[in-house]
Chains A and B, each alone.
Chain A
Amino acid sequence: AQSVTQLGSHVSVSEGALVLLRCNYSSSVPPYLFWYVQYPNQGLQLLLKYTSAATLVKGINGFEAEFKKSETSFHLTKPSAHMSDAAEYFCAVSDRVGGYNKLIFGAGTRLAVHP
């Protein structure tokens, strides 16, 4: 069965610093992996996705993630944090056993950005 572990429920960085949010997955099939962002009182917005093409995936708002099969990881990075990046971030793996895109989410990481 697929599962996702996000290391660190809270991450705090200074504005302009590197953002690194960690995600490890477990999957019995080649995984499809996603990062979503959730702002307060809003739904989830897709940042980026890995679907077995390039291992380095670029997303919106300057975020990117690298799929590393040997480490079963899909960490999210951004070179320089902006105040507007403060939000909750969820990593998800697609359970494709049923032939449809049932998402299995991690518990989330809350990112705080301070001046």
Chain B
Amino acid sequence: GAGVSQSPRYKVAKRGQDVALRCDPISGHVSLFWYQQALGQGPEFLTYFQNEAQLDKSGLPSDRFFAERPEGSVSTLKIQRTQQEDSAVYLCASSSVFGGASTHEQYFGPGTRLTVT
């Protein structure tokens, strides 16, 4: 079966542009996470969805970042008025169970590499 897919794989944006990054989780997975991975760093948590409900957005770095998952499947991470510090790889991960099952594996997509010039 298909894994987690993300699109686009690469995105170059001029400073000030808006971007939208898409995540297609594994079919049926109820939990969806977004992480940001800066160059040479480990991934950092951005936000968490359980089905369509955004239960945690504590990692979003500013109000320019917005995520949604309106039908509980595909998710979009939107960044408004991009800045150079937004340049990073954005990773999406999904999990088959509700968030309370902390032992369960998160399956990661290949990421979207965003470069802001």
| A residues with CB within 8 A of B | 4, 9, 32, 36, 41-46, 49, 51, 90, 92, 94-96, 98-108
| B residues with CB within 8 A of A | 4, 31, 33, 35, 40-45, 48, 50, 55-56, 91, 93, 95, 98-106, 108-111
User: Is B44's CB under 8 angstroms from A105's CB?
Assistant: yes
Cα of A102 to Cα of B35 in the assembled complex, Å: 10
* Chain B interface SS verdict (over half): loop
User: Is B91's CB under 8 angstroms from A49's CB?
Assistant: no
User: Is A43's CB under 8 angstroms from B102's CB?
Assistant: no
User: Is A101's CB under 8 angstroms from B101's CB?
Assistant: yes
A100-B31, A100-B55, A105-B44 known; A46-B103 Cβ under 8 A: no
| B104 contacts across to A, CB distance below 8 A | 101
Q: How far is the CB of A59 from chain B (nearest CB, A)?
A: 12
| A49 contacts across to B, CB distance below 8 A | 103, 105
- Give the residue among A94, A102, A108 with the most B Cβ atoms within 10 A: A102
User: Is B102's CB under 8 angstroms from A100's CB?
Assistant: yes
| B111 contacts across to A, CB distance below 8 A | 43
A102-B56, A107-B41 known; A41-B105 Cβ under 8 A: no
Of B4, B44, B102, which is within 8 A of A101 by CB? B102
User: Is B100's CB under 8 angstroms from A99's CB?
Assistant: yes
A43-B91, A44-B43 known; A102-B100 Cβ under 8 A: no
User: Is A96's CB under 8 angstroms from B109's CB?
Assistant: no
Q: How far is the CB of B80 from chain A (nearest CB, A)?
A: 24
Closest to A46 in B: B105
Cα of A36 to Cα of B43 in the assembled complex, Å: 11
Of B42, B48, B110, which is within 8 A of A100 by CB? B48
A43-B4, A100-B48 known; A105-B43 Cβ under 8 A: yes
